[in-house]
Amino acid sequence: MSIEVSLVIPSYKSEKYIEKCLDAVIAQDLDRSKFEIIIVINGPVDSTPEIIEMKLSTEKDLNWQVIYEETASLSNARNVGIRKSNGEYVTWVDVDDWLSTNYLREMLNAAEHGVVPLARVVDVDESTGFELESPIATQIYEHPPGHRDPEVLWRSLGFAACKLLSTADARSIEFAPELKSGEDVAYFAPLFAKHRLIFDSTPAHNRATYYRLVRAGSMSRQGTSFDFSVNQRLAVMKHLDKAAINAEPKIRNVMHSMMRSQALFAKRYLDVNPNDTEAVVSAFDQANLNYTPWNVLAGKTQNLAISYNFAPFADASAVVAAKRIVGSGKQWNVICNDMSKIRERDDDFHQRILPYISIQKTIGNPPVFGSWKGVREFCESGLAAIAEIENRHGPQERLYSRSMWPASHFLAALKKIRNPEVEWIAEFSDPLRKDVRGKERIGPVVPDEYWNEIAGAVTAAGFGLDEKQSLFAACENIAYSLADTVFFTNPHQMTYMLSYLNDQALKSRVRKIAEIQAQPVPPPRFTFGTAPERHQTNADRINIGFYGSFYPNRGPGVLLDAMQRLPEYVRNRLRLHIFTPNVSDIKKAISEFGLAAMVHAYNALPYLEFLRSASSMDVLLVADADTESTGHRLNPYLPSKLSDYRSTGKAIWGMYESGSMLSRSNVDYLTPANDLVGTMAMLKNLAKEQE
């Protein structure tokens, strides 16, 4: 009678355990002519061979063999056992585990093509002998006996034993010897996906039992370390990720769920080691997975960011707030508002910052910029959101808020007042009280309990609030009075904002607590990737890229006039790529100037795509906001695009207003704004560089 089942037992220094395992094999009630035992001794040899000889040599009708492998590897030992198997089916038992008497018989009775018989798993505590139904068994018993898809009994995919496989199927995929742990997880889900296998739980319901010894220090129960919790888990995830690409949707979902389970180890590591966030994120980035469960990494944090306008909504201010968070190298809880009525979504960018966000609470109020009602509603909902966050994460110790939307600072002020020990950093992206034309923004305050609470705290700090002033002016003064630190993005902004502050004592305080924090340069994880094909540049030309609002009659619009006036041979060496929200107007102007062959206009790009596109250019153009025409004595703005451009390593051309921060910036080329002659000269110089 031919052998039907091969039972593979990997053995590493197993003299303490193997006798009980062999006793269980000897006691099997399946006809001995139908199964064989293959013991693969791997690594250093102890007294295990003598024990095997003692136990099996007297069992004359038992088929068994011992194979020696120098390499100490559980995965390699299993692979060797599979290759040496003579049975139509194969199963494993770890050397410290054992089987019920009916195990092989029940498994073989259920064997058929495309079906994997499944046994019950009982966990046995080594120190007490206490037996407990494993989660695998519990899940099995939730369903009647019979055939079940792997997504129903998915727990069984994470454990090598308790299953009977076709030997041909088992040989089609190898256990990965390079894995230090998790080899079971990396093997079975891809195997089921490849052969579209299903389970049969009948053996488990017939009490065919795999007894799993639970002992401290085993490979599957290692302590928390970066290697085990991050590196080794990512190694397993790579196997699952690769197999999931071509898998059917249901089993792909199972593999993604298993990847999330692996990522939980990294999350638990971060809970204990929050300062290692950057290292963990870098490791996940370098794994280059097609599916990365970033949300699983959300750990506990005492950092709270309040940014009314935040990702996933596409907006420059939202991007800067996100860059601040990522640049901190720590995880943050975030409170923001739903901007979907006035902003497009940029989910790709949001996905990229997820590793640095633990809890994100999005307030569902309609976005309102200059209304006290909007400020009040955001504060009311925001305070409830803070309470929920602190209920889960404990007191928040560090607070960051950012305007342009003033409600951010009002909510942050309430948090600071109620928890004075919180360290509050308030950032102003731009002047808030006055607009780009230097005019006062209008937005009346409506005194209520929130206003009274804030005004009382400002008074207690030695300063004052006037309820007749705009909420924008009040917002600046509140941050100046109560924040521990105030961020300005450039010195001119600070000088300008303090120039219209009349309270000399408050002005003195601001100077003491102020920090100039330039717009952050995007981190490398924002910039990897290639430029989109639809925006490919011409390698035979100097490619100039502009990203932002483009007006033909002022600012960077002088480029069109300048290019039209250039000799044709100079124009032919240049290509101008304009990415702008007002693309239809620009295309019309390009046509009117007769520049369609060398100037191309495109719709504005999502942030990450913009960075990749900018990286493909030769020169990147940035222009100052127009403040000279509005009577500003000092331009308080520094374009945020400048910091984005710096991440590309490409040449930067600045069109500046006299005395502006851009005019003093370290860029490759500078020309005055609206200077036709200077712009033509710059274009000629760039064309010469192409010769």
Please report whether residue 591 resides in a domain: yes
Specify the DSSP element, H or E, that contains 669: strand 669-672
Cβ atoms of 346 and 607 closer than 8 Å = yes
For residue 432, pLDDT beyond 80: yes
User: In terms of domains, do 483 and 569 share one?
Assistant: no
* pLDDT of the residue at 631: 73
* pLDDT of the residue at 164: 98
Q: For residue 592, what are the contacts with CB-CB under 8 A and spacing of at least 6?
A: none
Q: Tell me, what CATH number does 368's domain have?
A: 3.40.50.2000
Q: What mean pLDDT do residues 291-317 have?
A: 95
For residue 409, pLDDT beyond 90: yes
**pLDDT-derived band at 552, boundaries 50, 70, 90:** confident
DSSP 8-state assignment for residue 87: S
* pLDDT of the residue at 568: 93
What token pair was written down for 154?
């998915």
**pLDDT-derived band at 423, boundaries 50, 70, 90:** very high
Structural domain ending residue among the three candidates 240, 257, 292: 292
Report CA torsion sign: 144, 145, 150, 156.
Answer: positive
* Listed residue (113, 116, 98) closest to 154, CA to CA: 116
Q: What mean pLDDT do residues 328-353 have?
A: 96
Q: How many domains does the chain have?
A: 4
Please report whether residue 221 resides in a domain: no
* pLDDT of the residue at 547: 96
Per-residue pLDDT tens digits for 106-131: 999 999 999 999 999 999 999 999 99
Structural domain ending residue among the three candidates 292, 316, 344: 292
For residue 217, pLDDT beyond 80: no
Rounded to two decimals, the pTM is 0.85
Strand-pairing partners, residue 337, are 363
**pLDDT-derived band at 285, boundaries 50, 70, 90:** very high
Task: Report d(CA 689, CA 691) in Å as an integer.
Answer: 6
**pLDDT-derived band at 553, boundaries 50, 70, 90:** low
Please report whether residue 596 resides in a domain: yes
User: In terms of domains, do 397 and 425 share one?
Assistant: yes
DSSP string, 46-71: -SHHHHHHHHHTT-TT-EEEEEEESS
For residue 390, pLDDT beyond 60: yes
User: In terms of domains, do 282 and 161 share one?
Assistant: no
| Strand pairing class (198-200; 574-580) | unpaired
DSSP 8-state assignment for residue 489: S
User: In terms of domains, do 36 and 185 share one?
Assistant: yes
User: In terms of domains, do 183 and 244 share one?
Assistant: no
Please report whether residue 522 resides in a domain: no
User: In terms of domains, do 346 and 473 share one?
Assistant: yes
* pLDDT of the residue at 556: 81
Please report whether residue 219 resides in a domain: no
| Element counts in the chain: helices (H) and strands (E) | 27, 25
Q: In what order do the strands lie in the sheet with 131-133?
A: 98-99, 209-214, 120-125, 131-133
Please report whether residue 448 resides in a domain: yes
For residue 473, pLDDT beyond 70: yes
User: In terms of domains, do 126 and 68 share one?
Assistant: yes
**pLDDT-derived band at 96, boundaries 50, 70, 90:** very high
User: In terms of domains, do 78 and 193 share one?
Assistant: yes
Please report whether residue 521 resides in a domain: no
Report CA torsion sign: 133, 134, 140, 143.
Answer: positive
User: In terms of domains, do 561 and 458 share one?
Assistant: no
| Strand pairing class (651-656; 619-623) | parallel
* pLDDT of the residue at 375: 98
For residue 555, pLDDT beyond 90: no
Biggest alpha carbon–alpha carbon distance for the chain? 104
* pLDDT of the residue at 1: 59
Q: For residue 277, what are the contacts with CB-CB under 8 A and spacing of at least 6?
A: 270, 329, 330, 331, 355, 356
Per-residue pLDDT tens digits for 629-673: 777 788 999 999 999 999 999 999 999 999 999 999 999 999 999
* pLDDT of the residue at 230: 98
Structural domain ending residue among the three candidates 516, 549, 571: 516
* pLDDT of the residue at 632: 77
**pLDDT-derived band at 572, boundaries 50, 70, 90:** very high
Strand-pairing partners, residue 547, are 579
Please report whether residue 568 resides in a domain: yes
Q: What percent of the chain has pLDDT over 70?
A: 97
**pLDDT-derived band at 487, boundaries 50, 70, 90:** very high
Strand-pairing partners, residue 574, are 542
Cβ atoms of 457 and 482 closer than 8 Å = yes
Which domain, by its residues, includes 561?
528-687
Q: Tell me, what CATH number does 172's domain have?
A: 3.90.550.10
**pLDDT-derived band at 551, boundaries 50, 70, 90:** confident
In this predicted model, which residue has the larger pLDDT, 392 or 437? 392
Per-residue pLDDT tens digits for 176-200: 999 999 999 999 999 999 999 999 9
For residue 408, the one-letter residue type is S
User: In terms of domains, do 194 and 176 share one?
Assistant: yes
Cβ atoms of 314 and 606 closer than 8 Å = yes
| Residues constituting the chain | 691
Task: Report d(CA 525, CA 545) in Å as an integer.
Answer: 22
Per-residue pLDDT tens digits for 520-548: 999 988 876 655 556 678 888 999 999 99
Q: What mean pLDDT do residues 335-358 have?
A: 96
Per-residue pLDDT tens digits for 126-171: 999 999 999 999 999 999 999 999 999 999 999 989 999 999 999 9
Strand residues in 380-539 grouped as ranges (E): 398-403, 423-428, 485-488, 514-516
User: In terms of domains, do 413 and 384 share one?
Assistant: yes
User: In terms of domains, do 534 and 505 share one?
Assistant: no
Rg (CA), the chain: 34
Task: Report d(CA 259, CA 224) in Å as an integer.
Answer: 18
**pLDDT-derived band at 557, boundaries 50, 70, 90:** confident
Give the phi and the psi of residue 545 in degrees, each rounded to 5: -110, 135
Mean of per-residue pLDDT scores for the chain: 94
For residue 218, pLDDT beyond 70: no
**pLDDT-derived band at 554, boundaries 50, 70, 90:** low
Look at residue 394 and give its three-state secondary structure: coil
Burial of residue 338 (CB within 10 Å: 0-12, 13-18, 19+) is middle
* pLDDT of the residue at 633: 82
